[in-house]
Structure formats: structure tokens, C-alpha cells
Structure 1
Amino acid sequence: MANICEFEMKIVGSFENMQKFYEALIQKDDIWIGRGAGDTNIRYDENKQSAIIDGWVSWTIENALVIAANDMKKEKEIQCLTLWEACKLYDVVMEVYSKEDGTQFQQHILCNKGNVEIDDTVNWYEYVDEQFEVYETKEEMEKELEITLSEQEWQDKYATGGGFKSWNFQI
């Protein structure tokens, strides 16, 4: 089973084009962006000139929405676009932050109407879930996992580190 990569994406464009982009992302009609995204939600700003989309893809944004799209084009069963092609076709600026717990990374991509201007990946980790019950202290977690945590990383039975300082959109 593929790892789940959660994302938050902002798109800027005309309301009609943003709707078409979103429908391709969720594979609603006959044009798809790669393997698409799951459990998505879209929230338009009050002027409907931008929108925030959150959801998940398999593995990474690039694997699911670019590499998979190129593979799917060879199958020719459906019209498939890469994320970059969709940004160009629908005349949208797209910025996305994503994270994947299993392979411990965060990614930041900005695509301006088909031109990739930012594509950064950084290491990130998060120790959660069953460990909530296991580690009562920072020292206990450090000893068990053979790691050293800063005070900023330790979050009371929870630890996180690396990644981007914030997920503030530039667009």
C-alpha cells in the first residue's frame, strides 16, 4: 500500500478555471490530474479568486500528480494531465505544502501557470499515535528511540522536528 501524503494547496485564478482544476484533481469528469487526490475539501475565498484545497495523495505530490500522469498517458484510456499541465491549461497559480509521516518529509511546490518556481523537499519527522501512551517523558522517548530531542521538538508525549517553519502561502 502506498504511503499517504497529506497536503494543503492554494490555487489562484478565475472561479470557473479553479472549479475545472479541482474537478480534474478529484477525477470528477473525463480529464484527470494524475492519480488524483483523496478526501479533498475545497474552500473558496469570499471573492472566489482563490481557493484552499486539502486532501491526500499516494506517495508524493510529484509521484501521484506528475509521474503517474505521464505513465497514464501511455495507457490512453483517459485524458490525463500532469499537475504542471493542469496549471497551464486552467491558467492557475498553484502552491502546495505536503507531508508524509512514513518517509518523513515535507514538500513545498509553487507552479505559476505551468512554470515550476519552487520545488523544495526537507526532512521532517513526527512521533505520534501509539507513542502517546508509551513515552511519558522526553528522556524516556530519547532512550527508547536512541535520539536526542530539543525542547522545541518535545510536545508532551509527542515529538516533531525538521520540516518547514510554517505553511504560509506566498501567492
Structure 2
Amino acid sequence: MGDRKPGLLTPRLSARQLAVALAFGIAAAATLFTSISIPLGQGMIAEPSEIFVTLGSAFSGPYGGLIVGFLQGVLYAPERNIPSHMLAGFLWGAWYAVIWRWTIKSGGGRWTRAALWMASLPVYYYVFLLPLHQGIASLTLGVPFIPLYVGTAVAILPEVAATLVVTSLVIALLPEKYAKPVE
């Protein structure tokens, strides 16, 4: 019994996972605090904190994702950013662990993992993060949800695209030992 490995969602956070979560969470918060953005041309910009949130969650696991999400959300509109980023961070930390395990067992490798990540990242934004974020905003600001969601969904397309490209490349190009979720 003592030899069992913890399961995917076993409530556990190692010191290494905590360190990774703190590093990525602080980086995500720093991008917001310093107003760092990536110019995309035509007056479009991408705010890169989500790059750190998604990768930090992936590498530190679901419970690390809670920490990364909290740190990203605490600086700007915390009443809607904290719960939405914590939930998305938790789910994406769990999802990356599933992708990692499946690609290792199936022999799919890093390119398959990056492709699965890339294909699923819009789900992170448009099914988990944005609905909760905009749902809370809708309630607290007293505005209709659907127009708020649709308007924001369109406005963040550059951010989604930048996050998708950058994080997928990181996952594809990192040596396997660094792309593995920290235990």
C-alpha cells in the first residue's frame, strides 16, 4: 500500500511544484503589473500573462495551477480574475498531465503533445476561462452576458493566437526532461 504512486488529482503539492508555480505565477503577475504586451501589428497587442499561466499550470500540475492562477488574478479585477484563472489553471494542469502520460505511453512524443495542446488551448480560453470571467463580470457590472462574452471573445483573438503559438512551441522544443510535469 505504501508503494502506490499518487493519482493525477491526488491533493499534493511538492516543493518543486510550488517553486515552479510561484515562478510562473510571479512572471504572469509581472506582465500585468508592468503592462508588458506583444505588438502584433495593425494596432493589435497580445497580453502575455496567459503564456505563463498555461505553461506554469502545465508544468506544476493542477494544484500548482491554482497558485499560478491566483497570482495572475490578484493584480487586475481580482473578483473575476482569481476564480477564473484558478479554475482554468487547475484544469489545464490536469489536462497537460493527461496529454503527457498519453503521449509517453503511446509513443507520440513531443510533436504529438504540442499538437494536442495546440488543438485544445482554445477550450482553455473559450470554454473555461472566458465564460467564468465574463459571467462574474456580467453579474458584478450588471451587463448582459452574451454580448460581453462575444465582444471579449473576438477582442482576445490576438492573445489566444500568441498564447497558442508560443506555448505550443515551448512544449514542442523543450527537452523531454523539462517538458515533463514537475513531481
TM-score, structure 2 length as denominator?
A: 0.25
Q: Which has the higher strand share?
A: 1
TM-score, structure 1 length as denominator?
A: 0.27
Name the structure, 1 or 2, with higher relative contact order (CA <8 Å, separation 6+): 2
